[in-house]
Amino acid sequence: MEYRNKLVLAPMVRVGTLPFRLLASDYGADITYAEEIIDHKIIKCDRIVNEYIGSTDFVEKGTDNVVFRTCDQERDRVVFQMGTSDAVRALKAAEIVCKDVAVVDINMGCPRPFSVSGGMGAALLSKPDLIHDILTTLRRNIDTPVTCKIRLLNSSHDTVELARRIEKTGVSAPAVHGRKVADRPRDPAEWNDIADIVSSLSIPVIANGDVFEYDHIERIKVATGASSVMVARGALWNASIFSPKVKEHWEDVKKEYVRKSILWVVHLGYTTPRYVSQLCHWNEYVFIIGKSMGKKNITS
C-alpha cells in the first residue's frame, strides 16, 4: 500500500460498510477504512465466501449476523480497523481477516465511552508501552501492512514523542485526527499540531480534520505537509467530495448509495440513516432503485 498523495475515507461507525466504501471509491477515494470492529467480535466469526453476491463475509458463529463484508473489488484498498486493548487478541483477530484486506489498522483515537471503558481507542494514547506491544506483535506476525489512527495529546511535544515511538514499530503510516480526546466536532481541528508530527517523522502521515470540500484537501496538505488526506464528515455529507470534478447533487449520490446497498444485500438497519434519510423517505428510494433493478420484492 502506497500512502503518498492518497485520498482516504475515514473509519466511521455505522457508516463504513461495503456499499459506502465502494461509493467513495467510485468518486475517487484511493483508500477506504471500514468501520471499527472490536477484536472480540471478529474472533467469534467464520469466514464465508458468499457466491450469491460475490462477497467474502465474516459471520458470527451460530448466527446469520455479518460482522464484516468485503469483496475482490476493494481488496487492494480496504483497511480493516480494529478496536483492541491486547496484543495477543489483536493478532488472533488480524489473522482471521488479513488475507482479505489491504491493511490492518488499530484504532487509537475513538473517544466513545464504550471504547475508552474497554481500554481501547483513545484509552491507548496514555499507554505507549501497550501501543508498542500491539503494533510490533502485528508487524512481526502478519504480512499485511499495519497502521494506526491517533488523536492529539494535550501538548504537541507529547504527541510528537508518541508518533516517534509509533514510527519505530514499523507501521506504514499513522493517521492523525487533529483534535484532542476532549474536543468535539464543533471544535476546529489543529492543523499546526499535525504539521509538527509530519516534520518529525520519516514515514507518511495521513491528516484528518475539517475537510468538507474538495479544495480543503489541498489546504490541509499545504498547512500540514501531510502525505495524504483523510475525509470523514465531508464524505458522509456527500461522497463525491473525493472527485475533482463538479460535486454531484447529493440526491443522486444517495440514490447510488441505496442501489449499492441493495446490490450488496445490506440490512436496512446497517445502512447510513443520516446519509439517506435527512430529506427523503426510505420507501421512495427503495421503490425507485428496486424498480430500476427489476426487483419485485426488494424490501423483504
- Just list the catalytic residues: 110
Find residue 70's DSSP bridge partners. 56
For the record, the C-alpha cell of 236 comes out as 458522509
Q: Tell me the three state secondary structure of residue 244.
A: coil
Contact 131, 85 (CB under 8 A): no
- Helix orientation angle between 191-200 and 156-168, rounded to the nearest 10 degrees: 40
Backbone angles phi, psi at 48, to 5 degrees: -130, 130
Contact 30, 6 (CB under 8 A): yes
**Residues 6+ positions from 162 with CB-CB distance below 8 Å:** 125, 128, 131, 150, 153
Contact 230, 205 (CB under 8 A): no
The stretches of the chain forming alpha helices (DSSP H) are: 18-27, 39-43, 87-97, 113-117, 128-141, 156-168, 191-200, 214-224, 233-237, 250-263, 273-277, 282-293
Biggest CA pair distance of the chain = 60
Contact 24, 32 (CB under 8 A): yes
